[in-house]
Amino acid sequence: MEQKTTIDKSFKTEPYQINMGPQHPATHGVLRLVLTIDGEIIEKVEPDLGYIHRSIEKMCERDSYQQIVHLTDRMDYLSSNINNEAVCLAVENALELEIPDRVKVIRTIIGELTRIASHCLWWGVMGMDVGALTTYFYGFRDREMINDIFEETCGARLTMNYNVPGGLMFDIHPNFVKRVKEFITHFKTKIPEYNRLLTGNVIFQKRMKGVGILTKEDAISFGASGPVARGSGYSCDVRKYHPYSALDKVTFKEALKTEGDSLARYEVRIQELWESLSIVEQLIDNIPEGEYRVATKAVIKLPKGEFYQKVETARGEFGVYIISTGTKSPYRLKFRSPGFSNLSLLNHIAVGGKIGDLVATMATLDLVIPDIDR
C-alpha cells in the first residue's frame, strides 16, 4: 500500500464495504462475501456462510446408512458420485465387506468421469468469470455427454445415488462401455480446443499469472487440498497416497505445479482432465465380470467405534467420519468438505488485488457452496 503515502492528505480516501452476494453471479450460489474495498483494491474479504445450511450432518444422525448416501449428493453436487462412494467405502470398511472387483472398477470409472464433468463445468465458469462467456457452452457440451452416460447408467444426471453400501444399485447399461469410449475419443480432441480458446489467450494469461499467490506453507496451514493445494506444489492427492476402489490398479501422474498462482491452479485442473481420461481409458476395456453388489442386511448396523474414509473429489479431500454406537444410524457424523478449507484462504490470497482479481481467484478455487454450507 505504498500508493497511499503519495496521495495528498487533503484527498482522504476511505475504505467502504460492499456485499458480494448472496445473489451475485460470481459467487456461484448463495455465498455472501463482505468486501472492504479501497476504490478497486480489496482490503478484506469476509465470507458469510449459512444461506444454504440444511444441517445434513444432523440429519445423518437420524437416518440409516443407506439414506445417508443420498444426502451426500446434495453437498458437492458436482462430484456427487465420489461423495456417495466415500460413505459407502466407510460403511463397507466398518462392516469388513469384501467388494467385488467389478464394483471397484465401475466406481472408479464413474468417479473419474464425474471429475471430468466437474472440471468441464469449472472450466466453463472459469472463463465466464474472467469475461469469456463462450467457454461456458463449450464446457457444457462435453459435460452433457458424460451426463447422458450417467443418465443411461442409473437414471440420474446430477444427484446420482448410484452407490449403495455393498456395491452398486444396478449393473451398468450394455451401452456403457461403447459410449464411454466414444466420449474418450471425443474429449481428446476437445481439451486442445479448450487450450486454444482460453489458456493461450494473452488477456487470460495476464489476468491469471502472478495473481492470488498461495505458498506451499500457507496451503498446508490453511488445510487446502485438491487442485488448489497442488497448484502450490503440495502433493496431496488422496488417490495417490490412499488409493481406494480400483485406483491402485491404474497408473497416473499427480498434476502438480509449484507457482501457486491462479494460472497454476488452472493448469493443474487441465492436467487432471488428461489424467482422469487416462484412468478411464485404462479401466474401460477390462471391467471384470461378476456381481455388481454384495448382499447386505436391510438394516445396516455398524460395529461400535470410529471410522474415517477419505476420497479425492474434484475439489479436494473429502472425508467421512462416523462415530457409531452400534445402532442403525451413526451417533455422530462429520463430513470434511474440501470447499470449506479452500474458501478459508480466499481472504489470504485476494487481499491487495482488484475486484476483478478476486473474482478470477475465487473461480480458481472452484467453490461449490452447498459443499461448504452443509
Partner 1 sequence: MNISLNITKSIHEWLFSIMPEGVANIVEMALIGLLYLAIFAILGLFLVLLERRVAAWFQLRIGPNRVGFQGVLQTMADALKLLSKELTGTVKADKFLYNLAPYFVIISSLMALAVIPFTKEFQAFDINIGIFFLIGVSSIGVIGILLGGWASNNKFALIGAMRSGVQTISYEMSIGLSLLTMILITGSLQLSEIVEVQKSGWLIVQGHIPAIIAFMIYMIAGTAETNRAPFDLVEAESELGAGFHTEYSGMKFAYFFLAEFINMFLIAAIATTIFFGGWLSPFGITESIPWLGVFWFLGKALILIFLMMWFRWTFPRLRIDQLLTLEWKYLLPINLVNIVIMALIVWLNLTIKI
Judged by beta carbon, residue 175 or residue 205, the one nearer partner 1 is 205
- The residue range among 17-25, 81-89, 187-195, 292-300 that interacts with partner 1, by the rule CB under 8 A, is 17-25
Q: How far is the CB of 73 from partner 1 (least distance, A)?
A: 27
* Residues 299-358 within binding reach of partner 1 (CB under 8 A): 354-357
Q: Is the dihedral of CA 176, 182, 187, 193 positive or negative?
A: negative
* Interface residue with partner 1, options 45, 75, 120, 130 (CB under 8 A): 130
User: What is the closest distance, in whole angstroms, from the C-beta atom of residue 18 to partner 1 in the complex?
Assistant: 5
Q: What would the 3-class secondary structure string for 42-57 be?
A: EEEEEEECCCCCCCHH
Name which of 59 and 132 has its Cβ closer to partner 1.
132
CA atoms within 13 A on the CB side of 43: 11
Binder to partner 1 among 122, 123, 138, 234 (CB under 8 A)?
138
Shorter beta-carbon distance to partner 1: residue 205 or 258: 205
Phi, psi dihedrals of residue 310, rounded to the nearest 5°: -120, 145
Three cell numbers, residue 58? 444432523
Q: Which three cell numbers stand for residue 202?
A: 494473452
Residue 320 has φ and ψ, to the nearest 5°, of -120, 120
**DSSP three-state, residue 214:** coil
Q: Is 201 in the site for partner 1 (CB under 8 A)?
A: yes
In sequence order, what are the beta bridge partners of 24? Answer: 29
Q: Which residues contact 226 (CB under 8 A, 6 or more apart)?
A: 236, 312, 313, 314, 315, 316, 317, 338, 342, 366
In the complex, minimum distance from the CB of residue 146 to partner 1, in angstroms, rounded to a whole number: 16
For partner 1, the binding residues in 40-99 under the rule CB under 8 A are 40
Q: Which is nearer to partner 1, 44 or 328 (CB)?
A: 44
CA torsion 106→111→112→116, rounded to 10°? 130
Q: How many residues bind partner 1 (CB under 8 A)?
A: 30
Instruction: Pick the closer one to partner 1 by CB: 190 or 332.
Output: 190
Which class for 217: exposed (0-12), middle (13-18), buried (19 or more C-beta within 10 A)? exposed
DSSP 102-118: HHHHHHHHHHHHHHHHH
- Is position 15 an interface residue for partner 1 (rule: CB under 8 A)? no
Alpha-carbon span 120 to 104, nearest angstrom? 24
**Cβ proximity to partner 1, 28 vs 107, nearer residue:** 28
Closest CB 153 distance from partner 1, rounded Å? 25
| Residue 284 grid coordinates | 474401460
Q: Which of 53, 54, 62, 141 binds partner 1 (CB under 8 A)?
A: 141
- Rule CB under 8 A: is residue 204 a binding residue for partner 1? yes
- Cell numbers given for 348: 489470504
Q: Which of 34, 197, 294, 323 binds partner 1 (CB under 8 A)?
A: 197
How many beta carbons lie within 10 A of that of residue 27, not counting itself?
Answer: 20
Residue in this structure with the C-alpha cell 499469472, named with its chain if needed: 209
Of the pair 193, 217, the CB lying nearest partner 1 is at 193
Residue 268-307 contact track with partner 1, rule CB under 8 A, x = bound: ----------------------------------------
Cα–Cα distance measured from residue 115 to residue 279, given in angstroms and rounded to the nearest whole number: 11
The reply on whether position 137 binds partner 1 by CB under 8 A is yes
Would you give the binding string for partner 1 spanning residues 108-127, x where CB under 8 A is met? -------------------x
> In this complex, which beta carbon is closest to partner 1, that of residue 159 or of residue 347?
347
Q: Which three cell numbers stand for residue 105?
A: 472398477
- With binding defined as CB under 8 A, does residue 212 bind partner 1? no
Q: What is the nearest approach in angstroms of partner 1 to the Cβ of residue 270? A: 16
Nearer to partner 1, 25 or 50 (CB): 25
Binding site for partner 1 (CB under 8 A): 16, 18, 24-26, 40, 127-134, 136-138, 141, 197-198, 201, 203-204, 206-207, 354-357, 359
